[in-house]
Every structure is written in structure tokens, then in C-alpha cells.
Amino acid sequence: MKKIAVLGYGVVGSGVVELFYKNKEKIEKNTGKELDVKYILDLREFPGDPYADKVVHDINVILDDPEVGYVAECMGGVNPAFQFVSSCLKAGKSVSTSNKQLVAEKGDILLQIAKENDCNFFFEASVGGAIPIIRPLHTCLAGNDISAAAGILNGTTNFILEKMFCDKMGFEEALKLAQELGYAERDPSADVDGADACRKVCILASLIFGKHVYPDSVYTKGIRDITLEDVSLAEAMGGAVKLIGCTKRLNDGRILSTVMPMFVPEDSLISHVDGVFNAVMVWGDGFDKTMFYGRGAGKLPTASAVLGDIIDCAKADHTVTSHEWVLDENTDFIAGIDAFCVPRFYRTDSCTADVYESAAKAAGVTVENTTEGGCIVSCCDNKTADSFANALKASGVSVMSQIPVMAD
Amino acid sequence: MKKIAVLGYGVVGSGVVELFYKNKEKIEKNTGKELDVKYILDLREFPGDPYADKVVHDINVILDDPEVGYVAECMGGVNPAFQFVSSCLKAGKSVSTSNKQLVAEKGDILLQIAKENDCNFFFEASVGGAIPIIRPLHTCLAGNDISAAAGILNGTTNFILEKMFCDKMGFEEALKLAQELGYAERDPSADVDGADACRKVCILASLIFGKHVYPDSVYTKGIRDITLEDVSLAEAMGGAVKLIGCTKRLNDGRILSTVMPMFVPEDSLISHVDGVFNAVMVWGDGFDKTMFYGRGAGKLPTASAVLGDIIDCAKADHTVTSHEWVLDENTDFIAGIDAFCVPRFYRTDSCTADVYESAAKAAGVTVENTTEGGCIVSCCDNKTADSFANALKASGVSVMSQIPVMAD
């Protein structure tokens, strides 16, 4: 019987242990194997915990035990997670992690070590929490040429934007509520400024396009500048403002990855994803488009994804099924934000359709939609988008916001 | 080098061959193996087709060739598909099928044969076309106790209902348009009367609950009775009418499976799934709920799912990763429609809120929402739902439609 070790007994780690024992019989039936959690690694003691006797404080206990075949890394952060995971893989133990920072920064290296040691490195929980997205990308959809993925990758900001949209709360008030409900940290910057979504974009981009995309290659802008007025105008124009993480292959073959607030038209399913839920739309040549939706965070949802990986490890045994990507030192394959070309949504003070039209003509774009104090213009790059704003200003119109539009 | 044989060179089979050669390099990189299509089995000849030289007419050519490791069954129907697939599995060749009828009627037997012969029987394409749903259920979500799945499993009827909803077409007119666009057959009954969705519900139910659920265990009702007035009233009451296939485990442990038109409130993502797209929502203890959305039919979308299976076969080699379910001759685990308990949507002629309230009181339900000529009452079984309708009739109110409400 191969056994499981769980690294880190915090929210996610304890969820993995809880869900495993709740569904042990079902899991063993599915894998056709007896399974058990043998060790829980944590610096702390957990007196009174039903699994307190499994707690160890030294990673070597796990590394040296040949009975441990599968490791769930739920510690977070790069250090010492990277050393621990590397060592486990080198000892031939397959690893599943929920640690997006680890995958975004060290995924290429860990996948390589796993391959060399005939075991798997899985990270389904690192993007979209419980949502099956990583495995479908490298199995179910693997017969396709995938060209893009985009969606809501951070539940905290989606909750805040929904409160602004539905309950007409201001940003600060909605953030305070998210903090009270435990959806946002006391320092909310990783969520609100986009770093969390950025890491998930890196993982999706690396997996889809086969080359490691680092966080600093992703243009990242958070939601702090989004106002209640922006959100209300978006509603009036038939859409919603969402924080969208996106990676796509441009016509010239380069990869453009972004995290930014976008206007999402209501005919896209993404615009209807509410609360702390996440959703990722993926585009490819055979399947056209497909969307994955679910809980992006939380104890049991994240545990669900980690356990799914462990089950796959147990079934696959030493068949290495994980995908890999490589490090390309030459970063010419990364496109900069100057290559970003989408329609744009503008919020202005009072302005007639005529004035929008002449500014559009001056900037070389087409007005696609107008309403009181707002318009949407056709696909353009940032420079052209600024030209349009400047042309409006030259006509005496104030431009309060300029938000890119997500294309479906 | 293991080779692929494709059974049936119709729409799906030719899509598999086309997509394979389009993305051959990518697929070989993913699997780490050289792959090629060696045979295409069809009764017809295909002069001028680029792969005409691969066409054979005798299944034994494929069965007797040890080089063939993977078989894509795209013939449809139970005979001779069942014989061919059985023989391939007995010869140790893993099979992927897009044939929902085959899986719904013979899935348990074929999974057993696959297991005995150390190979895989996969059927990702049989539910939801391109949508990754089968594999996520038995891998990513396998750490959970899954309690229900429900959604839009037939694109033709969803297209018709959308045309009624958005373009105010009558049922007959929308059906005619679907036929003109090639979405519906000349004899549309398999789609319109629910048999197609029923087969997909059988597959989902069998996979999730581990016992084979046959089509005659699924209460099945199509969309022929849905009128433009029903669809318009649904819109006025904040929802849409969709043909919903559903399977769920009741509190007493029995499985209730249904296909029927349902009122879907707009706060469910399912209500926003338009056109020929499919979507399946799944509920479980760890992940809460997750939804899968994409193209449910068509040449390349279906081929995408078949190829994904073949890729998984190639990666897994002789590790048997497919899930299995058993035949339980005792059908006590199947609940009848008398156990069906959901809120209900009624379309009536002019009626005051007071009259709805007193009829509800008489029937023992609660009125949850009313509008001009319509109301929604709380969860009840069919008998109570009829009592409410009868109480309305006794007050002189005509009841034109009674549609169950999908709970999220």
C-alpha cells in the first residue's frame, strides 16, 4: 500500500486530510488501491486533532520512507516548498501542489525533475481552485491547437466587483465587506492589485504554449481604479466589469498575457460569473471554445483538486502523464502591451453621438455603441485608444475611464 | 510505434483524422510517442480523399494487426459497433467512442471487457461533445462524493428554445430553421422528444453513481409542448425555459434521473447558455458546484474529444485508468417520478395574487413569485403540483402550462 504525506496542515492541508477520510472508500474503489495518509508535516503540534499522531516536523521522515508514494504540498510560498517538493520528486514520490506561486516561479524545473525521476508533478489546484482546468488542458483538449485562455481567476476581486455592480457599493466598502467575510486578507494587495491572478495566468500560459512565462512577462493592473460609476455605466451598456486574466497567441506567434479590469459584454457567459466563483474560457481549433466554472478558493474546493491529483497519481502509478514546459532564455516569444488590441469602453461626461463620431474619425476607430456618458469603440491598440481619448478632450469632453473590452 | 484505427469515416471519423494530422506534431510532443492513423474502416470507398489509401472494409484487418493500439469508434448505433468495439478490446486495443447509444446501452459490459484485457474504454465525446466532462468526473473530481449533475445536453433543442426566447419564433418555425441550418435531422424526434439527452443522462448517472442506469429508467419529456407564451412568461419571471437532463441522488439514496423542459432562473449560469452550446453543472461535497460549457456536437468538436481520449490512451499505455460501473439487476436504486420534488412555474390566464395564494394554501405550497398570468410555487411533488393546478381551476382560472423549476 502506497501512502500519502501532506505538507502543511493549514486550511488547504487540513481540507485534504478531511476530504480524503470522508471519501476514502470511494477513492479506493476508483483507484483500485488501498490508500492512507501516513504523515502530516507541520512545524506546529495539533493537540486534540483526530490526526495529531500523524504530525511530523522533519521532511526527512517523509523522504526516507519508501512507503510514501504521493505527497500533497499545501504549504504555500516558494521556500521551503521548492526544496521540499524537489526532494520528494527526486525520491520518486509524485507531488500535487495547491501552491500557485511555486508553480508560476518554478514549474519548469519541477516538471523536469519529476520526469527525470519517473513520477508526476501535478498542480490542478493552482489555477481556479476546485475547477478542473489543468488536466482537461493537457488531456481532453490536447488534440487541439489552443490559441487563448481568459477568465476570472480571482474570487476576491470578483466578489468586490459584484457588490459594486449589484449592491451599488463603492470599492472601499465592498473591500471591507470581503475582508469581514474572510474573502480578502487584511493586506488585500495580492488580490486587488492582480498579483494572484497574474500567477495563474503564468501557469495557464506556460501549460498552453509550452514555454515558461514568468510573472514579470504579464502586464498586470488591478481593480483599485474602478469606480461605482464605471460599473453602473457598464451595466447600462449591457455588460459588467470583471478582472480578467488572459493569455493568447498573437498572429505573429508571440504570446501576450495580461491581467486587467475589462468590460465583458453580457452575451459572454463570463459576465454572469458572480460572487467568489472563478471561470476560464479556452479557445482552440477543434473544440472552438469551452468554459470551466467553479469555486476558485476555499478549504474543501482546493482540497478537492489536490485529491484529484493524488488519485490520478495513484492510478497512473509510474506512468508520467504530466505535461511539461521548457525555459526559453530568449524571451522574444513574449509580446509587450503595445501589441494589445481590443475594443475599448469609455466613460465621459455628457457628450453627443456626433462628438464621439468625429473623435473616432480623428483617431481611426469606429464607434460601436453609445449611451449617455459612454461609448464603445472598435478594436485598437493603446496608442490609438489614447488618441481617441485625446480627440474627445480636444472637443471639451472629459474622459473619466477607459476600459478594454473582452472579446469572446 | 502504436497506430490508430478509425471505425467509420463519416462526419466524426473524418474529423478525427483531419484534426489528428493538423496537430500531429503537438500530439506527439504531448504523448512523447510517434503516432499515426493506419486504418480507416468504412463500407464505402473514398476516391480522391487524401487518406483513401488507409480505408479498409474488414474489421479483421484491424483486429489482426498488433501494431494498432488505439481505436476511435465513430460509427454510431449499437450494431455492429458493439461487436467491433468488444473485439478490439479483447484484442487489447484501447477504444475511444463518440457513440452515446453504445455507451448508454452497453457501457458496463464494455468497461468490464476493457478491464479484463488491460486496456481502456473511453467515451469523452459521448456526453457534451467537445466539453471535458467524463474525464474530470473520474479524475479531477474523484475525491468527492458527487450528488447530482444537470444541464443542457442537447444543442438542437437549446437552439430552438433560444430562437423562441430571443426571436419570438414559434416552436415549428424554430425547428424548421434548425433543420435548414443542419442542427436538426429531417426526423427531429431523437432531439426534440429527449431521447438524445436521455442517453447522455444515463452515461452521467452510471459514471457518477457506479451502477448502470438504462434509458428506460430516465423519465423523459421533450419540448414539443413548450409554447412561445411559456417562453415569454419565463422571461418576464426572470428566467428561461431549457431542456434539462438531470441525475441526482435523493436523501434515501435512490437515483432519480429526468429529462424535461425546466424553468431556469437567470441567477443560474445554465440559463445563459445559448445556441447549440451544451453545459453541465455538477454538485459534490468538496468542490460544491462546477460547470462545464462548450460545443455539444459537430465534426471537429466531437473529434477533439475522441482525440483527447486517444492521447490519454497513448500516455496511459496499459495502465487502466477508465472508471467502471456495474450492472445491478435489482433496480430498487432507481427512483420513479413520484419522488420528483422541485418548485413549479405555472402559466395561467388572468389571476390575482390572492387567488394564487388561496390555491397554494389549499394545496399546501407557498407562492414564491407572481406576475401577470403566472406564478412560481415552492418545492412540491407532482401530486401536490396537480392539486395546486386543480385548486386554481376550481377558482375559475385556466392553467395553460406547468413547468418544473431547476434548483441551483
Question: Nearest-CA neighbor of B118 among B279, B319, B309, B299?
Answer: B319
Q: Select the residue from B137, B139, B211 to test the A interface by mutation, using most A Cβ atoms within 10 A.
A: B139
Task: Tell me the DSSP string of B250-261.
Answer: -TTS-EEEEEEE
Mean pLDDT of B254-260: 98
B-contacting residues in A 339-378 (Cβ below 8 Å): none
Q: Has residue B317 got a pLDDT over 80?
A: no
Q: Has residue A336 got a pLDDT over 80?
A: yes
Are A229 and A194 contacting, i.e. CB atoms less than 8 angstroms apart? Answer: no
Q: How far is B1 from chain A (nearest CA, A)?
A: 17
Mean pLDDT of B354-362: 97
pLDDT at A318: 65
Q: Does residue B393 sit at the A interface (CB-CB below 8 Å)?
A: no
Mean pLDDT of A87-103: 96
pLDDT digits (tens, 9 = 90+) for A96-150: 999 999 999 999 999 999 999 999 999 999 999 999 999 999 999 999 999 999 9
CA angle A187, A193, A197 (to 5 degrees): 105
Q: Does residue B169 sit at the A interface (CB-CB below 8 Å)?
A: no
Please give the Cα distance from B361 to B384 (Å, whole number): 11
Q: How far is A190 from chain B (nearest CA, A)?
A: 24
Q: How far is B196 from chain A (nearest CA, A)?
A: 20
Beta bridge partners of A244: A260
Please give the Cα distance from A97 to A108 (Å, whole number): 14
Report residue A245: phi and psi, to 5°: -95, 135
Cell of A221: 493592473
List helix spans (H) across B181-221. 189-192, 195-209
Mean pLDDT of B283-307: 97
Place of cell 381551476: B393
3-class state of residue B74 by DSSP:
coil
Mean pLDDT of B317-338: 84
B-contacting residues in A 44-83 (Cβ below 8 Å): none
Are B69 and B318 contacting, i.e. CB atoms less than 8 angstroms apart? Answer: no
Q: How far is B96 from chain A (nearest CA, A)?
A: 12
Please give the Cα distance from A248 to A59 (Å, whole number): 39
pLDDT digits (tens, 9 = 90+) for A339-370: 999 999 999 999 999 999 999 999 999 999 99
Q: Does residue B305 sit at the A interface (CB-CB below 8 Å)?
A: yes
Q: How far is B359 from chain A (nearest CA, A)?
A: 34
Please give the Cα distance from B215 to B196 (Å, whole number): 10
Residue numbers in A near B145 (CB within 8 A): 22-23, 26
Q: Does residue B138 sit at the A interface (CB-CB below 8 Å)?
A: yes
pLDDT at A249: 98
Q: Has residue B299 got a pLDDT over 70?
A: yes
Q: Has residue B323 got a pLDDT over 90?
A: no
pLDDT at B103: 95
Q: Has residue B269 got a pLDDT over 90?
A: yes
Q: What percent of chain B has pLDDT over 90?
A: 93
Strands (E), A47-154: 55-56, 68-73, 94-97, 121-122, 146-152
Q: Has residue B322 got a pLDDT over 90?
A: no
Task: Tell me the DSSP string of A237-272.
Answer: TTEEEEEEEEEEE-TTS-EEEEEEEEEEETTSGGGG
Q: Does residue A142 sit at the B interface (CB-CB below 8 Å)?
A: yes
Q: Does the beta-carbon distance from A294 to B288 stay under 8 Å?
A: yes
Q: Does the beta-carbon distance from B143 to A304 stay under 8 Å?
A: yes
Question: Nearest-CA neighbor of A306 among A112, A25, A37?
Answer: A37
A-contacting residues in B 311-330 (Cβ below 8 Å): 311-312, 315-317, 319, 321, 323
Helical (H) or strand (E) element with A298:
none
Buried b / exposed e over A88-100, threshold 16 CB at 10 Å, is bbebebbbbbbbb
Looking from the CA of A37 toward its CB, the CA atoms found within 13 Å total 29
Query: Which positions of B are annotated as active-site residues?
Result: 200
Are B324 and B376 contacting, i.e. CB atoms less than 8 angstroms apart? Answer: no
Please give the Cα distance from A220 to A228 (Å, whole number): 21
Mean pLDDT of A36-51: 97
Q: Does residue A116 sit at the B interface (CB-CB below 8 Å)?
A: no
Mean pLDDT of A12-36: 95
Residue numbers in B near A319 (CB within 8 A): 315-317, 319
Question: Nearest-CA neighbor of A203 among A97, A317, A100, A50?
Answer: A100
Report long-range pairs for A90-94 (Cβ below 8 Å, ≥24 apart): A90/A117, A91/A63, A91/A117, A92/A117, A92/A118, A92/A119, A93/A5, A93/A62, A93/A63, A93/A68, A93/A69, A93/A119, A94/A69, A94/A70, A94/A119, A94/A120, A94/A121, A94/A122, A94/A313
pLDDT band at B190 (very low <50, low <70, confident <90, very high): very high
Beta bridge partners of B256: B248
Beta bridge partners of B288: B284
pLDDT at B1: 82
Strands (E), A77-181: 94-97, 121-122, 146-152
Mean pLDDT of A30-38: 94
Q: Does residue B162 sit at the A interface (CB-CB below 8 Å)?
A: no
Q: Has residue A196 got a pLDDT over 80?
A: yes
CB pairs under 8 A between A and B: 201
Q: How many CB atoms lie within 10 A of CB B388?
A: 25
Residue numbers in B near A310 (CB within 8 A): 143
Mean pLDDT of chain A: 95
Mean pLDDT of B73-81: 96
Mean pLDDT of B315-324: 74
Residue numbers in A near B131 (CB within 8 A): 290
Please give the Cα distance from B301 to B294 (Å, whole number): 9
Q: Does residue A274 sit at the B interface (CB-CB below 8 Å)?
A: yes
Q: What is the pTM of this model?
A: 0.96
List helix spans (H) across B23-170. 24-31, 59-63, 81-90, 100-116, 134-138, 155-167
Mean pLDDT of B259-287: 97
Nearest to A26 among B26, B145, B308 (CB): B145
Mean pLDDT of A193-217: 96
pLDDT digits (tens, 9 = 90+) for B361-387: 999 999 999 999 999 999 999 999 999
Furthest-apart CA atoms within chain A: distance in Å: 75
Question: Nearest-CA neighbor of A14 among A57, A74, A71?
Answer: A74
Report long-range pairs for B325-329 (Cβ below 8 Å, ≥24 apart): B325/B107, B325/B108, B325/B111, B325/B206, B325/B207, B325/B209, B325/B210, B325/B211, B325/B212, B326/B108, B326/B210, B326/B211, B326/B212, B327/B108, B327/B109, B327/B211, B327/B212, B328/B211, B328/B212
Q: Which residue of B has its CA nearest to A27?
A: B143
Q: For residue A146, which amino acid is it?
A: I
Q: Does residue A145 sit at the B interface (CB-CB below 8 Å)?
A: yes
pLDDT band at B195 (very low <50, low <70, confident <90, very high): very high
pLDDT band at A324 (very low <50, low <70, confident <90, very high): confident
Question: Nearest-CA neighbor of B255 among B329, B153, B149, B343?
Answer: B149
CB within 8 Å of B167: residues ≥ 6 apart: B174
Angle of helix A11-22 relative to helix A299-316, nearest 10 degrees?
A: 60
A-contacting residues in B 192-211 (Cβ below 8 Å): 210
Helical (H) or strand (E) element with A6:
strand A3-7
Please give the Cα distance from A206 to A235 (Å, whole number): 34
Q: Which residue of B has its CA nearest to A325?
A: B30
Helical (H) or strand (E) element with B211:
none
CA angle B29, B11, B105 (to 5 degrees): 95
Nearest to A290 among B135, B294, B310 (CB): B294
Q: Does the beta-carbon distance from A132 to B140 stay under 8 Å?
A: yes
Q: Does the beta-carbon distance from B315 to A310 stay under 8 Å?
A: no
Residue numbers in A near B308 (CB within 8 A): 139-143
Q: How far is B365 from chain A (nearest CA, A)?
A: 30
Query: Which positions of A are annotated as active-site residues?
Result: 200
Question: Nearest-CA neighbor of A204 among A128, A307, A290, A299?
Answer: A128
Beta bridge partners of A239: A265
Q: Select the residue from A28, A304, A312, A320 to test the B interface by mutation, using most B Cβ atoms within 10 A.
A: A304
pLDDT band at A322 (very low <50, low <70, confident <90, very high): low
